Each structure stands twice: as structure tokens, then as C-alpha cells.
Structure 1
């Protein structure tokens, strides 16, 4: 099997809060973590996407907007045209348009949701604060397109589409795995005051479940002692989130090997909204 990547994305990466990308591959029934790359700018991310000619990657950022929102705004209903329109807006314009949409709606239903949000328990992709996933989409998806990444379910499969010539990108949500293992226990925080022993123990428990196969994804992670220590010691959880995305990429690779053309995504997914892999 080939190269797998998992990406914990940031729409405004810095030297203190990098984009973290995990690299790995599957061998003899185990997912082997080969390394972590920390990228301190969006340009570095664009370059990283092009570094290898083929991979299956899972990215922690939304790939689409809610159909209800797009229809209400009168934006293109074809995914790529919608994304190119969206990429042409500034973040201030996005904030203003989305705020006006929310202001016109009743309390308790301000945001529009994608169909995938309910099973994944994910934030609406139009949310611009806490977390600013709307800006993650705005920063990430155009760079995936520029790098020629194929997004199953949203684009036609490229031709020729040999395994050696395609970069495959899937939308991922690390919280999907973390919640299945830990329930409501928190395992990370960017706030140093909240980087508690309980969260450290939660990271250990989560890694133990990944390594021993105690998840519904039927993938087992293989780590060195040094890798495990580094993932536990990163109290922000960024490195662990990249590995969780890598884990989902491995699951998608298995689905593809078993004949699922959309890498485990549902055949009836909305081709405008997109879908979180394995949700």
C-alpha cells in the first residue's frame, strides 16, 4: 500500500501554531507512523501538498458549505464553481455575509448545517469563530485544488487515474475518533492553564485504543516509544489530531482496496456539501 497523510490544519499558521501533517503507510495489518511535518505558513502547506506524486490524505477542514446556505445566498450549486466563488471573497466579506444570514434566523437555529454534521457531531462549516472552520475551508480547499488533489464525491475521478498518479483528499474530523474512545473527556487544549494531568491521561488512553485496535475502524497504529512520548507530550493535541486524520486515511485506503470507489464515502452523499470520511 502507498503513502498516507493526515493533516491537522490551521487557516492562520504561525511558528507557534503550525499546520501538522503526519506521514505513514500500512504494512502487515498495521499503520506505521513515519513522521510529522510542521508547516508554519500556507505557502509551505501548498508546497508540501506537491512534494509527493501520490497519496491518500485526510484533512481536518471542511470541503463544502451547507446546501441551504448556498441556495439562500444565490451562489453556484455546482461544487467547484461554488468553491471558486467562495475563494474570491475576503474573510471580512465571508464574516459579513454569514453574520447577516445568521441574524435573519431564529435563536437556536442561526447556522445552516450539512447532512454530515449530525452523524459526525461536527461544527457547521459556515462557522467563523470557535472554531473558524469557514476560514479553514477558505484557506485549504483552494490550495488542494491548485495542487491537483482529487476529492472523491465532489469531483470526477481524474483520467488516467492510476494509483501512482493521484493525490486523494478526504475531509476528516479527529473528534469523531476521540469521542468514540473517550466520550466527553477532553484530551487537548491550547491554553497552558488547561493542559492538565487528566488531559494527558486521556491522550494516553486514546493512543492505547489506536494501538490495540479498540476502535470501530479496524485499523491498528504502530508507534515507536519516542513517537508515543512525543504525541502524549504535545498538550495542544495538534500532533495527535494529525495522527487521528492519518488513521482515517488508512481506513479509507482499506475501503478503496475492497472496491469502494469513493474511499468509504456514502454513494448518495450531497455532491455540493461533501462528507466527513467514515461519519
Structure 2
């Protein structure tokens, strides 16, 4: 893969994914551009789209436009788990295998793995998961990130996207569509360690609203650990604060993480990157990472 190149005007997408999109809980896509002068980079938020089905997501991936996107879903599983199960160790082959398996079959594998391990060490972790503070990619409930991968990554691969963290150049086309794994919780915690969202209306409290406001202020002010700050209209700012589920804010953070990665050589990926596992945008490379 080529080094990343920072281009002012580049379209940046942030995708807050769900494995079961519907009108009341769609896939949320922040759309903006990388802007700013020589001394400062900004992510100018232009729009937020809502995709209420996986079919709509498929159509979105195939739109003839170039972009760099941060997607909030796992792009891979732990090498330890993959090798233990004898699954394909080439990333593209693994994605097709994994997405072709039934959830019931995968759930049985995950349960068997966890049942054979002691409390506190149940899951197989990727190298990026613990530095990011994310859930292990094999987790199938609360949150069901394994099913997010199952629903999303195969579609993304078949759409011909480029995946720098997996050393996949993508299908030759007039426009580059480059996908990075994102995790908004990593950046949100740089500004506020407290909970800022809930899918349960009764838990969408004033305190969580205040925490969203705190996080948003850090994103706009450039104090959330990223080399890109957010620029959004008053209307979008208000909507992100009002959205108790946090989907709009998370989508914007995913776009910011992609923008941050675009400023770094090779998207900030570790020099000892494992292309089977990949990496999460904006999480600093470390050694060792486990």
C-alpha cells in the first residue's frame, strides 16, 4: 500500500454501523471534507446520511465517488482465534469464510472458546483492541460486534474498497474508496470518561447530554487527541447534542479519526502490522500491543 497523502478537499466519511439497520436505528454516515490551512486541519461536516437497510448500505458503498472513511465495526478477528480454529489466514479469504458462516455456527465457536478459559481471560483479543479500549472482535453480545463484522465487512470487500490495514489495494476504479476501522469510544474518552449515550430512552439522561456537549467541545477545540478538529454548523452541533443514542456524534468522530490517519505516514499503522488482524485508526502504534 502507498503512504497516506493528506489532500485538502478530500471527502471524509464516518460510519456508525449497526448489523440490523432500520428506520429507528439506521447506519449513520457523516459526510465532510478535510480543510484548513498549512498549520491546522479541520473536518468540515457537510451532512449526515441515514441508511435504514443493508441494501441501502450496499448502494452507498458502490456510489461513484472517492473518499476516505472510518467505519465503526471490526474488520478482522484475533489471529490466535483464527489459527486455533484452522480458519483461513489470508485476510480476504478469511472475510469471505467468516461472512459465509451462519451466526449459530460462529456463536458455537465463540462459546466453546470462552467456556474453556478462566474468568477475566475469556476472549481472544486483537493487538489493537486493548490499546483502543474496544470490545474484543469476537464478542457476540453487549455489544454484538462479531455480528457487526459479519453483516458489514464482506459487503465492503465485495464493493472493491481499499483496506490499508489489511494491505488490500482495492478494485481499480476512477475514484479511490479507502476504508479504515474506527472506534469512536477511543477518542470520546480523551475528552470525557463518563457515559455519553444509550439506546434505551429512559437512560438518555441530562448527565449524558452534558457529556456529549463536553466531548463535542473538545472535538471542535482540537483537544481530543486528534490532529484534525471538527467544524460543524450550529444545526448539526445541536442535533449531535440532542441525539441520546450518540449515533450522530459517533459518526462524526469516525470521520475525524479517518482524517487524523490521513495526515500520518501509512495512516499511522504499526511498522509490525499484522494484516490479518488490521488496526484501528487514530490508536497509537505500540510495541508490544498486547
Alignment of 1:191-202 (within 5 A): 191-202=200-211
Cα shift readout 1:149-193 (whole Å, capped 9, x = no counterpart): 1000313435868xx62100000000001111102x111111111
Deviation larger for 94-103 or 61-70:
94-103
- 1:277 paired to 2:287: no
How many residue pairs were aligned?
271
Contact kept in structure 1, 2:213 and 2:241, CA below 8 Å = yes
The Cα of 1:114 is off from its aligned counterpart by 0.5
TM-score (norm 2): 0.90
Task: For residue 10 of structure 1, give the secondary structure of its aligned residue in structure 2.
Answer: coil
Q: Match for residue 3 of structure 2? A: none
234, 242, 253: which one pairs with 1:233? 242
Q: Secondary structure at the match of 2:239?
A: helix
Aligned to 2:10: 2
Residue-by-residue CA offset, 1:65-99 (whole Å, 9 max, x unaligned)? 00110011011111111111111101111111111
1:176 aligns with 2:186: yes
Q: Which runs of 5+ in 1 are unaligned?
A: none
Residue 100 (structure 1) aligns with: 112
How far has the Cα of 1:44 moved from its partner?
0.4
Deviation (angstroms), 1:215: 2.1
Give 1:216 shift. Answer: 1.8
Q: Given the two structures, how large is their TM-score scaled by the length of structure 1?
A: 0.94
In structure 2, list runs of 5 or more residues that go unmatched. 1-8, 284-290
Q: State whether structure 2 residue 20 is matched by structure 1 residue 12.
A: yes
Equivalent residue for 2:256, pick from 219, 244, 247: 247
User: Within the alignment, does 1:35 sit opposite 2:43 as a pair?
Assistant: no
Which consecutive segments of 4 or more residues in structure 1 shift more than 3 A? 158-161
Aligned match of 2:199 in 187, 190, 194? 190
Quote the residue 1:140 is aligned against: 152
- Taking the aligned partners of 1:48 and 1:104, their CA distance within structure 2 comes to 41
Answering whether residue 76 of structure 2 is matched by residue 64 of structure 1, we say yes
